[in-house]
Structure 1
Amino acid sequence: MSIYDEKPWLALYDAGQPAEIVPEFTDALVMFRAAVARAPQAPAILYFDGRISYAELDRLSDGLAGYLAAHGFGAGDRLAVYLQNVPQFVIAILGAWKAGGIAVAVNPMNRAREIGILFADCTPKAVVCHDTTFEETVGALEPGLRPQIVLTTSALAFQTRNDRRLFAATRRVACAGTVDFEAAIAAGGALPPAPSYKPDDIAFLVYTSGTTGVPKGAMNTHGNVTFNAQTYRDWIGLGEGAPILGIAPLFHITGLIGHIAAAFITASPLILAYRFEPGVMLDAIEEHKAAFTIGAITAFIAMMNHPDAAPAKLASMTRIYSGGAPIPPSVVTAFRETFGHYIHNGYGLTETNSPTHVVPLSREAPVDPASGALSIGVPAYNTISWICDDEGRELPVGEVGEIVSQGPMIVPGYWNKPDKTAEAIRNGRFHTGDVGFMDKDGWFYLVDRKKDMINAAGYKVWPREVEDVLYTHPAVREAAVVGVADSYRGETVKAVISLRPGTSATQEEIIAFCKERMAAYKYPRTVEIIDDLPKTVTGKILRRELRG
């Protein structure tokens, strides 16, 4: 018997919290309809000064489903949702499900080439996109790649405030050869027979970022979605009707599950604000009294460094979680000093339908004294995790290896990619590609991505450890560490940073600061200072763009 069979992390669960839960809902559409039944007039979406109730959201998505069905969209067909954080995103996924189909979440930052790759893979019958980007994206596709049904919509719809911080230059655009989204809903059509989904039917195709190759469509099932929605509700203790801030992009797995699905299972309002802008987010929290959110640590850093940052802005928040990337302990401390709130950690991937590991709400994550890593938490309900070597063998406590997980949140595979599926999911265990370790008490720690490890003269350097030290410097706002070619050492450590407003630092000062705090082979030999670090739309810093 291994230490993992003994499950030492069970002792870390909140008092009285079970190790396993029984899924309450069979599919995501049933979960949504339960919210409509018990809270029809409660707000489902708050979008600036706009408000959509659960009953209205039900009617709007009925109209879309009827239109889709009337135009040939049926069971198993794919609807590509190529939108920012707008109400139409939620309406679209519900319309797809009601018509018997699958929603494909598409990054709104993707351009025509990237859209073409995705559409060639999943062959959507329909797409919903913004009118302002249609001509240069979906409209630029070759005819064979363009979906049969093309609906365009404006980010200005469903609200009247037109916040100039986001919409100063935005105008509604007429798109030839497309149908207006709201007009399609109004036209409607006869609703198809209500679908009855099984837990292993696909709810979403969610594409990986493609940082290691061609993006892969993770097949997130209805069972995955409803299980992890329940994990959010029960583990974090989300109250019925407590407003959820949509800080993460809705196309991302965090937005789909930690925002949309979590709102459905609790009949809560989802607060949307088109895209992330720190001042807008601070105002939205204050105006709509958001109680919970989960997002990238870079978003919280941006809010913390905004001129309007003050405890009053986040007074309504009772639960704040972050995940998706290692979190520097110093940032958690600084955030609490700014707003009075502790950021709880969580961990998951597209292929795990959001969380597999979560810090219990009543606890603060420990910091490993040797590596300085902040724990990502303990395995959530019905989950078991291991630390394994490259051959999949379980490693002892404290040893660094790949994080491997198994549970009802793991997707069955990738769309049209059986070889990639077999490589990542072996005997029901998902091999994450993330490197970490478990301590003797059962806390798990994320070290870094396998592919980001730096080999400096034979020594392993994990970028996260260097970044954690950089974040303790009072002038550093954001930091990323990469390996660059070196004729003598093979690779050497390079740091790229941005500075907090009103501060200054030189490259020499930063190097000296790190040299005093870490082994000689770890500290950065070169430092580049830039205004802003490149990021994905989800807020992850793009190390690959900094290696040049």
Structure 2
Amino acid sequence: MEKPWLKHIVEGNPKEVEIPEISLPQLLNESIKKYPNHTAMTFFQKTYSYDQLMESVKKVAASLYNLGISKGDRVAIMLPNCPQYPISYYAALMCGATIVQINPMYKSSELLHVLNDTETEVIIALDKTIPLIEAIQQQTSLQTIIDVSFENDCKFNELLADRQLHVPDIQIDPKEDIAVLQYTGGTTGRSKGAMLTHYNLVANTLQSAATSKVKTDEGEERILAISPLFHVYGMTSAMNLNFHIGGNLILVPKFEVEQVAQIIEQSKPTIFPGVPTMYNALLNYYKEHHFDLSVLKTCISGSAPLPVEMLNSFNELSGTTVAEGYGLSEASPVTHRNPIAGLQKAGSIGIPIPNTDAKIVDSATGEESVPIGEVGELVVKGPQIMKGYWGMPEETQQVLKDGWLYTGDLARMDEDGFFYIVGRKKELIIASGYNVYPIEVEDVLYTHPGILEAAVIGVPDKYRGETIKAVIVCKENASLTEEEVIAHCRNKLAAYKVPRIVEFTDELPKTAVGKILKRALKEEANM
């Protein structure tokens, strides 16, 4: 069978979804008509109905248009999760502009790279980041800086003023026009801008809705938006999905486990797109301070592999099933997910979502499919795949071949069509000629009761080529030695997979979305 996963899609769930050629503002407008009085988003004590959201979007769109923003211009958004984010996002898109997603925690060199790469002229940013932006403004094309403040008057509030400005009526070509420039995390080198069209993002929103346990006709879902909206995962799996299904987007600007536990108790979110570090923190907090996790009907994990031990423990304590999925910036981002209803496999990223094809090819040439169960590079195809990298035609050709996106991730597929990520091509450790996949060692480390977080990397070794190093954060009050960690691994792994070096640290470096930055660990180890 060419697509063995199709037999595991339960009755009532679509194998394909119809994707209209419309823009993201048009998709939002459909929900405004259906759910005008429903709560669209909540930010602590403040709520916005869908009508109020659209009113704000139109005012900001008219103001941006009045400032000279026109079709194809780039508008950067540098904000944490707050109401001003979706308002700015849809307003700029309504003008035909392209959103440039920027992490508010960027340092000057990172910010300078993205602003210059995109020739951005307008940025909407948190007031605390304005000094950083102003310090580099002369080295960029920036003309206008619009500050957002949660406490004081700010320039953004002027955009919301009722000035009877004309709302632009821009014709958008969904398949060609770029809605978002999503910069890759840069975990493996220089950050690149994935060109995501309106069609790409509308497609992935509808694909995500079809594979989430949502009441799409009732507008009753509440999505807990902790994953940053400036990250592709939060943008699609929280914001765009929420507004499509008429849900309430519960905006949380920062992950602080005690505060998040209180929000879960008070707001009772039904859908939670999280990442492994969030699930790990909630799991450990829950053991000491019980709170109601059962309200989370649909939990999705993405951005990084979820250790099986952590998955099983969270499911057991919460009574909720976490469905692990997979995606990447270049795919808007979702390509795989464990079915919410039907067969699930712990440790698997699940099966391709509707309208998506996937296969495993040999990692040497990328031309031949490998047999079931064998490891190779994961390649994917579907309507959510990016147009290419901004201003980088050669890099685009390296990853887009005949409509297939070469992900750079090593994976295998089982006989049921479930896929398993075993590591990134660039993270593969070759020790004494043997291939060692870090996730396999990390899964074993997470079974130790004293380990809170773990990351495994390869470091240069004159004799073995590379040797395995584990960097570990211990749980509070736990005391571990290097010898104990190695002995734990030796009981569960072949000798060549056992870490030779164990380092203890208080904190692992992470990206804004919570993915452990192994590149930073490797750079530190090689210094």
Compute the TM-score of the two structures, normalised by the length of structure 1: 0.91
User: Which residue is 2:354 aligned to?
Assistant: 381
Give 2:257's aligned amino acid.
Answer: P
Residues 198, 43 of structure 1: alpha-carbon distance in 2 compared, 3 angstrom cutoff: same
Tell me if 1:538 matches 2:527. Answer: no
Tell me if 1:287 matches 2:261. Answer: no
Residues 18, 41 of structure 1: alpha-carbon distance in 2 compared, 3 angstrom cutoff: closer
Identical pairs, percent: 38
Task: Tell me how large the CA RMSD over aligned residues is.
Answer: 1.6
Checking the alignment, whether the CA contact within 8 Å between 1:45 and 1:87 is kept in structure 2 is yes
Consecutive unaligned residues of structure 1, counting only runs of 5 or more, are: 158-171, 368-373
Checking the alignment, whether the CA contact within 8 Å between 1:479 and 1:495 is kept in structure 2 is yes
User: Which residue is 2:192 aligned to?
Assistant: 216
User: Which residue is 2:244 aligned to?
Assistant: 265
Checking the alignment, whether the CA contact within 8 Å between 2:13 and 2:210 is kept in structure 1 is no
User: Which residue is 1:430 aligned to?
Assistant: 405
User: Which residue is 2:380 aligned to?
Assistant: 405
- Of 306-315 and 280-289, more deviation after overlay is shown by 306-315
Give 1:64's aligned amino acid.
Answer: V
User: Which residue is 1:127 aligned to?
Assistant: 123
Which of 416, 433, 445 is 2:420 aligned to?
A: 445
- Deviation of 1:17 after TM superposition, in Å, equals 2.5
Checking the alignment, whether the CA contact within 8 Å between 2:78 and 2:124 is kept in structure 1 is yes
How far apart in 1 are the matches of 2:493 and 2:287? 35
User: Which residue is 1:394 aligned to?
Assistant: 369
User: Which residue is 2:482 aligned to?
Assistant: 507
Residues 308, 334 of structure 1: alpha-carbon distance in 2 compared, 3 angstrom cutoff: closer
Checking the alignment, whether the CA contact within 8 Å between 1:99 and 1:191 is kept in structure 2 is no
Tell me if 1:238 matches 2:214. Answer: yes
Residue by residue, what CA displacement relative to the aligned partner does 1:303-342 show, whole Å, maximum 9, x if unpaired? Answer: 1122676664323210001012112110011112332222
User: Which residue is 2:183 aligned to?
Assistant: 207
User: Which residue is 1:85 aligned to?
Assistant: 81
Checking the alignment, whether the CA contact within 8 Å between 2:188 and 2:519 is kept in structure 1 is no
User: Which residue is 2:440 aligned to?
Assistant: 465
User: Which residue is 1:63 aligned to?
Assistant: 59
Checking the alignment, whether the CA contact within 8 Å between 1:69 and 1:189 is kept in structure 2 is no
DSSP 3-state at the match of 1:80: strand
Give 2:247's aligned amino acid.
Answer: S
Tell me if 1:27 matches 2:27. Answer: no
- Of 61-70 and 443-452, more deviation after overlay is shown by 61-70
User: Which residue is 2:334 aligned to?
Assistant: 355
- Deviation of 1:86 after TM superposition, in Å, equals 1.1
User: Which residue is 1:46 aligned to?
Assistant: 42
User: Which residue is 2:204 aligned to?
Assistant: 228
User: Which residue is 1:485 aligned to?
Assistant: 460
DSSP 3-state at the match of 1:75: coil
DSSP 3-state at the match of 2:458: strand
Residue by residue, what CA displacement relative to the aligned partner does 1:13-51 show, whole Å, maximum 9, x if unpaired? Answer: 122433211115622111111111121221111011111
Checking the alignment, whether the CA contact within 8 Å between 1:303 and 1:309 is kept in structure 2 is no
Checking the alignment, whether the CA contact within 8 Å between 1:66 and 1:188 is kept in structure 2 is no
Residue by residue, what CA displacement relative to the aligned partner does 1:413-449 show, whole Å, maximum 9, x if unpaired? Answer: 1111111111110110000000001111111111101
Which of 149, 153, 164 is 2:144 aligned to?
A: 149
Checking the alignment, whether the CA contact within 8 Å between 1:324 and 1:348 is kept in structure 2 is yes
Aligned length: 517
Which of 5, 11, 26 is 1:9 aligned to?
A: 5
Checking the alignment, whether the CA contact within 8 Å between 2:58 and 2:167 is kept in structure 1 is no
Give 1:267's aligned amino acid.
Answer: G
Residues 311, 224 of structure 1: alpha-carbon distance in 2 compared, 3 angstrom cutoff: farther
- Deviation of 1:146 after TM superposition, in Å, equals 4.7
How far apart in 2 are the matches of 1:241 and 1:223? 26
- Deviation of 1:106 after TM superposition, in Å, equals 0.8
Checking the alignment, whether the CA contact within 8 Å between 1:244 and 1:269 is kept in structure 2 is yes
DSSP 3-state at the match of 1:521: helix
Give 2:205's aligned amino acid.
Answer: A
- Deviation of 1:144 after TM superposition, in Å, equals 4.3
Tell me if 1:190 matches 2:165. Answer: yes
Residues 16, 330 of structure 1: alpha-carbon distance in 2 compared, 3 angstrom cutoff: same
Checking the alignment, whether the CA contact within 8 Å between 1:311 and 1:340 is kept in structure 2 is no
Give 2:396's aligned amino acid.
Answer: T
Checking the alignment, whether the CA contact within 8 Å between 2:104 and 2:129 is kept in structure 1 is no
Residues 418, 112 of structure 1: alpha-carbon distance in 2 compared, 3 angstrom cutoff: same
How far apart in 2 are the matches of 1:87 and 1:190? 22
Checking the alignment, whether the CA contact within 8 Å between 1:219 and 1:412 is kept in structure 2 is yes
